[in-house]
Structure formats: structure tokens, C-alpha cells
Amino acid sequence: MQCQRCQERPATVHLTQVINGKKNEVHLCDQCAKEQGYMNYEEESFSLNDLLSGLFHMEGGKSSELFKENKKPKADLQCPTCGLTYQEFTRSGKFGCATCYETFNERLNPVLKRVHSGNTKHHGKIPKRAGGNLNVRKDIERYKESLHQLIKQEEFEEAAKVRDQIKTLEEELNQGKGGDS
């Protein structure tokens, strides 16, 4: 799509205004958008790295000024396996080894919750054809978690129903192993 104003450069800025129910769309190149006052900053582009470093309150990117917190870090954590410190991680955005995840877990969970709408556990979709028995196993795992909660709450009748559902799914899983392999 070409710029609506100069008709020379490709449109990279796309704005939609709705005023009194009337929709107005504007498609401009960077230069025309700046001239028209739609872009009033002189900085270069804001990269994905800058966004992520802002989420982790990392130093070094443009976002460090935008997202700074006034909290001083506690004693700097250090990975026992590779020796990476939390401060070094915040500068680079990269872990040194798998142990770093466990070492820095306490500081990562709040960021992951913020990024993933409060979730720290991945619950991705599983393709039906390629997933095999994985869906059934995940269901069993969820039912077992539910069973433990029901037992804690002393809701034994409901717990018995969940236990029976787990048994049914485990039988289904065992039958599938015998026939598929």
C-alpha cells in the first residue's frame, strides 16, 4: 500500500480514528507521518529486545528508562553451575545453563505471570492426530490434582467420582497402548 499523502513511499504507519461513529483510516509513510505530527519522537525504532528487557527491568535498552522500578536488588543471586549472576542475566537477557531457571525462579515468576496473564504453567494445545495419548494423560493429571483438592476439602463423594473417572481414563490409556504399539 502506498502512502496516501506523497504516493511515493510504502505506507508503514496505519491509523484508524473513530469520531462520533465515523471511521477514518490514514495510511502514511514514516516521513509523512512525522511531517503530519503523527510521530513526534526522534528515536529510532523500539525493538522487541527493548520490550522484553523492559518486562524484565533489564538495563541497557531504551526501555530501561521507561520501565525502571525504584527497587534495589537484594544480594545478587549467582547460578551455582555456570556462575551467571542475576545482574548479568538482566543485562544480556540470556541464561548460562538450565540451572539458571531454578536459581532465578523466584525473580522470574512475577515477570512470567505479568507476561502470561497470571499463568506460570504452559497449557498449550495438542494436535489430535499427533498428540496420541498425551491428551488423555493430561486429563488424568488434571483429575488427580482435582482429586487431591477434593480430599483436602473432605468432599469424599465428589472425590470418589473423580477417582472413578481417573480409573476409566487409565484403562482407556492402557487399552490404547496394547492396540497401537
Q: Is the pLDDT of residue 66 over 50?
A: no
Q: What is the pLDDT of residue 7?
A: 93
pLDDT at 8 over 90: yes
Q: Where are the domains of the chain?
A: 1-42, 48-115, 128-180
Q: Residue 68's pLDDT is what? A: 44
Name the residue with higher pLDDT: 125 or 77: 77
Arithmetic mean of pLDDT, 109-135: 71
3-state secondary structure the chain: CECCCCCCCECCEEEEEEECCEEEEEEECHHHHHHCCCCCCCCCCCCHHHHHHHHCCCCCCCHHHHCCCCCCCCCCCECCCCCCEHHHHHHHCCCCCCHHHHHCHHHHHHHHHHHCCCCCCCCCCCCHHHHCCHHHHHHHHHHHHHHHHHHHCCCHHHHHHHHHHHHHHHHHHHHHHHHHC
Output the pTM of the full model: 0.34
**Lowest-confidence region among 24-28, 102-106, 118-122:** 118-122
pLDDT for 117 beyond 80: no
